[in-house]
């Protein structure tokens, strides 16, 4: 009854207000309504933005764009506090071992193939001899080795190796998978032995067996394997720029094949700050490649790539094999994993993505729009036109690769340069000039990450030398 009287009173009061005043009341109500709607839309936008940022933080750290006030390392610190499991790819430690005078084995892996349980070892042969070995397993609960059945398969090269004049008489290098099949072995062996059956005193090389529970990895996880160079040493800023950039695009896990890194760099990579301070999981593997030939570089890289895929299978979703001078650069996406998921959203069955490979010339003039103090990655924007010399580059999904090494043409997707490209920074053979300028193109895609690289705590600490103290 009281509410009815109040309502009647308000209505009576409104009706008694002059018509001119009613217009002001109506205008005030319209303004209040508009302000309320705008405020509601603003808070809804901020809520969605905050939810997106939190989702990104939970998985990767900050996106590579410049739309957030957080630096990449602030995000990584939050990421580390979520208690993500440290992934190690270095146990047991691999090393090249001699099986015969011309055959060497690097590492062995336990796998469940279509034919049954077996060990697959990565090896190289100096010459054209066909592998012919005996093999046996070592089990935790056994005092003696268990004989296995030996076989092999040749590792094909991605592209033909060009022979240099005068090198045709020099021995070639061929790479192989050595297979030792388990007949009555159900438990995972901790080691395998390969040996020449026709030697009077056979050299039995014991190879520790690497094993991973092949559970489907998280769809957002990505690892990069970094190949060893033929010559030791690296420019001071190379390692820092590599980690700082790929951290921005969501890469947390790294496998490094060490062919001669400086001691202070190794000290940092083996220390606790690389994981606890910067949120990176880094595994360093020795790489004492045992043979030399005109084909050494191409074969060694292929062997590292195959070893990387076996080593990461069951642990991460996406895997790429790069040198220290190569960077995967998406044109529009902030995170590499998101780009691959969007590109494969309809199938979810692509085992590898072929991405264009561009070589940027470091001796060419800097981009005039970029500050001279910026990173080399941002300053160098001219690349040579793509030719037959550019080898294909792939990002793999190891859990979708067939264990019997069938060709992957049916499950390969080609990514256009408008979506992403691999930038390689190197010295080009042709000197810079008016004629050379016509043979090179401009690609400023890396510049979208310039602000985040400038703010990167990892890169600042690396450049100042503070992380080496």
Q: What is the 3-state secondary structure (H, E, C) of the chain?
A: CHHHHHHHHHHHHHHHCCHHHHHHHHHHHHHHHHHHHHHHHHHHHHHHHHHHHHHHHHHCCCCCCCCCCCCHHHHHHHHHHCCCCCCCCCCCCCCCEECCCCEEEEEEEEEEECCEEEEEEEEEEECCCCCCCEEEEECCCCCCCEEEEEEEEECCCCCCCCCCCCCCCCCCEEEEEEEEECCCCCCCCCEEEEECCCCCCCCCEEEEEECCCCCCCCCCCEEEEECCCCCCCCCCCHHHHHHHHHHHCCCCEEEEEECCCCHHHHHHHHCCHHHHCCCCEEEEEECCCCCCCCCHHHHHHHHHHHHHHHHHCCCCCEEEEECCCEEEEECCCCCHHHHHHHHCCCCCCCCEEEECEEEEECCCCCCCCCCCCCCHHHHCCEEECCCCCCCCEEEECHHHCCCCCCCCHHHEEECCCCCEEEEEEECCCCCCCHHHHCCEEECCHHHHHHHHHHHCHHHHHHHHCHHHC
Rounded mean pLDDT, 224-234: 85
Rounded mean pLDDT, 257-267: 89
Q: How high does pLDDT run on average in the chain?
A: 79
User: pLDDT confidence of 31, banded at 50, 70, 90?
Assistant: confident
Residue where a domain terminates, one of 147, 181, 210: 210
- Which pLDDT belongs to residue 431? 55
- Which pLDDT belongs to residue 244? 93
CATH code, domain with 203: 2.60.40
Q: Are residues 157 and 240 in the same domain?
A: no
- Which pLDDT belongs to residue 346? 63
Q: Are residues 185 and 307 in the same domain?
A: no
Task: With a cut of 90, say whether residue 243 has pLDDT above it.
Answer: yes
Rounded mean pLDDT, 118-134: 92
- Which pLDDT belongs to residue 386? 60
Provide the domain limits for residue 441: 222-468
Q: What percent of the chain has pLDDT over 90?
A: 32
Q: Are residues 124 and 250 in the same domain?
A: no
Number of domains the chain contains: 3
Task: With a cut of 50, say whether residue 69 has pLDDT above it.
Answer: no
Q: Are residues 305 and 443 in the same domain?
A: yes
- Which pLDDT belongs to residue 57? 42
Q: Are residues 336 and 390 in the same domain?
A: yes
User: pLDDT confidence of 248, banded at 50, 70, 90?
Assistant: very high
**In-domain check, residue 319:** yes
Q: Tell me which of 50-64, 214-228, 275-289 is least confident.
A: 50-64
- Which pLDDT belongs to residue 276? 83
Q: Are residues 229 and 294 in the same domain?
A: yes
Q: Tell me which of 323-327, 339-343, 433-437, 465-469 is least confident.
A: 433-437
**In-domain check, residue 331:** yes
**In-domain check, residue 61:** no
Task: With a cut of 80, say whether residue 170 has pLDDT above it.
Answer: no
Q: Are residues 39 and 116 in the same domain?
A: no
- Which pLDDT belongs to residue 91? 87
Q: Are residues 39 and 159 in the same domain?
A: no
Q: Are residues 166 and 294 in the same domain?
A: no
**In-domain check, residue 10:** yes
**What's the pLDDT tens digit per position in 292-314?**
777 888 899 999 999 999 999 98
Q: Are residues 195 and 226 in the same domain?
A: no
**In-domain check, residue 74:** no
Q: Are residues 203 and 252 in the same domain?
A: no
**In-domain check, residue 88:** no
CATH code, domain with 404: 3.90.550
Residue where a domain terminates, one of 165, 182, 210: 210
**In-domain check, residue 77:** no
Task: With a cut of 90, say whether residue 210 has pLDDT above it.
Answer: yes
Task: With a cut of 90, say whether residue 182 has pLDDT above it.
Answer: no
Rounded mean pLDDT, 47-63: 46
Task: With a cut of 60, say whether residue 439 has pLDDT above it.
Answer: yes
Q: Are residues 262 and 378 in the same domain?
A: yes
Residue where a domain terminates, one of 144, 178, 210: 210
């Amino acid at each position: 009854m009281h509410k009815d009287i109040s309502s009647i009173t308000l209505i009576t009061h409104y009706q008694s207000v002059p018509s001119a005043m009613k217009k002001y009341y109506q205008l005030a109500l319209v303004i209040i309504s508009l302000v309320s709607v705008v405020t509601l839309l603003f808070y809804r936008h901020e809520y969605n933005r905050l939810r997106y940022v939190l989702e990104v933080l939970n998985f990767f750290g900050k996106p590579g764009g410049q739309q957030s006030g957080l630096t990449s390392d602030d995000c990584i610190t939050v990421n580390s506090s979520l208690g993500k499991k440290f992934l190690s790819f270095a146990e047991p430690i691999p090393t090249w071992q001699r099986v015969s005078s011309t055959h060497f084995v690097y590492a062995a892996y336990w796998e469940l193939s279509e034919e049954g349980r077996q060990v697959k070892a990565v090896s190289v042969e100096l010459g054209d001899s066909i592998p012919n070995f005996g093999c046996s397993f070592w089990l935790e609960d056994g005092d003696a080795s268990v004989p296995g059945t030996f076989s092999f398969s040749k590792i094909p090269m991605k592209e033909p190796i060009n022979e240099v004049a005068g090198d045709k008489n020099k021995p070639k290098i061929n790479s192989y998978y050595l297979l030792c099949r388990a007949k009555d072995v159900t438990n995972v062996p901790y080691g395998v032995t390969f040996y020449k059956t026709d030697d009077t005193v056979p050299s039995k090389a014991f190879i520790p067996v690497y094993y991973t529970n092949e559970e489907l990895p998280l769809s957002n996880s990505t690892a990069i394997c970094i190949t060893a160079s033929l010559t030791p040493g690296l420019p001071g800023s190379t390692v820092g720029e590599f980690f700082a950039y790929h951290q921005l695009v969501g890469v947390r896990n790294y496998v490094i094949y060490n062919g001669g890194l400086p001691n202070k760099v190794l000290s940092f990579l083996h220390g606790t700050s690389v994981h606890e301070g910067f949120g990176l999981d880094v595994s360093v593997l020795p790489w004492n490649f045992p043979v030399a030939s005109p084909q050494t570089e191409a074969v060694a890289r292929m062997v590292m790539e195959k070893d990387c895929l076996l080593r990461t299978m069951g642990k991460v979703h996406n895997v790429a094999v790069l040198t220290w001078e190569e960077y995967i650069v998406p044109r529009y996406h902030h995170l590499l994993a998101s780009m691959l998921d969007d590109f494969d959203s309809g199938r979810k069955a692509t085992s590898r993505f072929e991405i264009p490979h561009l070589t940027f010339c470091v001796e060419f003039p800097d981009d005039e729009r970029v500050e001279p103090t910026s990173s080399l990655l941002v300053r160098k924007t001219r690349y040579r036109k793509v030719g037959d010399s550019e080898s294909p580059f792939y990002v793999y999904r190891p859990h979708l690769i067939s264990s019997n090494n069938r060709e992957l043409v049916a499950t390969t997707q080609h990514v256009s340069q408008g979506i992403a490209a691999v930038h390689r920074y190197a010295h080009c053979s042709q000197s810079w000039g008016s004629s050379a300028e016509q043979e090179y193109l401009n690609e400023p895609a890396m510049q979208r990450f310039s602000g985040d690289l400038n703010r990167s705590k990892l890169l600042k600490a690396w450049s100042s030398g503070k992380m080496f103290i």
